[in-house]
Copies of this chain bind each other. A is one copy, B any other.
Amino acid sequence: MESFEVHILGCGSALPTTRHNASSQIVKIGNKLFMIDCGEGTQLQLRKNHIHFSFINHIFISHLHGDHCFGLIGLISTFGLLGRTAPLHIYAEKELERLMKPQIEYFGKGIVFPIIFHNINAAEHATIYEDNTITVETLPLKHRIPCCGFLFREKPKKRHLIGDAVNYYNIPTYMRQTIKDGADYTTPEGETIPNSRLTKDADPSRSYAYCSDTLPCPENNIYLKDVDMLYHEATFAESEKGRAATTHHSTARQAAEIALGANAKRLIIGHYSSRYDSTEELRAEAAEIFPNTESADEGKVFSIA
């Protein structure tokens, strides 16, 4: 099964610290790299984590606060210096295009690759990206400005052929894709072999959701249901619940409640306020509600098996 990994490039919040970078992560599915958010310094984090710039073709921006997008212009400039020719797709609220176009025109002289802005509506749940194996959906969040999460989902996969059965029935090559899709096989003698004797279950379709920055949004549970891994912001501890509500953020406990309500398999917390020297306090708080909680940290890679 191909790899499905989340590489944490930054999991701090707005105020920079020496412990955490501004928000950014890479979702790596097979050899496809998707970037979520791009705070200042993201391109340096890519270097440090030995991630190939040129494999990044799609960047999803959750919302237009600086700690989620100030690294874009530097990354785009570096793509230009590296001689990139492949189109770059950026998914964000439409204001980003207005703000970036003059900068790209001025600083990006000599850039030859197309930059395609896909204006998304953070207030609605929609599929904004699709290829032969993956879809990406928006998840409306509740922040001080329009903001959405992103749900990455593998499409249903084909069933596995049972090698011995294929050989025994001497199934011709041109039939095999149809059988992997679930068809029965009729032999030249007219006997029908049910698909269950020819194939094994397909690999599961894995999913990953990113929810930051936001108040708790249990109304997204219908989309998040059974998600394999959920990254949810936990800017504050429950002791700062009032401050979390005022600033439209979540506490670690609230992140865990969302994971529980959505029946997620794992929870990764992040987007830590600069007031926390260690993230263990936040992780432990979440783990009381949702035991399978891990804390994000720069350089950590979370794999979905």
Q: Which of these, B16, B81, B98, B99, contacts A47 with CB under 8 Å?
A: B16
Q: Say whether A99 contacts B102, CB under 8 Å.
A: yes
A204-240 vs B, Cβ < 8 Å mask (1 yes, 0 no) = 0000000000000000000000000000000000000
Q: Say whether B18 contacts A47, CB under 8 Å.
A: yes
Residues of B within 8 A of A191 (CB): none
Q: Which of these, B18, B66, B73, contacts A44 with CB under 8 Å?
A: B18
Could you say which interface size class chain A belongs to?
20 to 34
Q: Which of A45-62 touch B at CB < 8 Å?
A: 47-48
Name A's interface SS.
Answer: helix
A77-121 vs B, Cβ < 8 Å mask (1 yes, 0 no) = 110011000000000000100110011001100000000000000
Q: Which of these, B43, B47, B98, contacts A40 with CB under 8 Å?
A: B43
Residues of B within 8 A of A182 (CB): none
Residues of B within 8 A of A17 (CB): 47
Check if A149 is an interface residue, CB within 8 A of chain B. no
For the A-B complex with A16-B44, A18-B44 known, give 12 more contacts whose Cβ atoms are closer than 8 Å: A14-B81, A16-B74, A18-B48, A22-B74, A64-B106, A64-B107, A66-B74, A67-B77, A70-B74, A95-B106, A98-B102, A99-B103
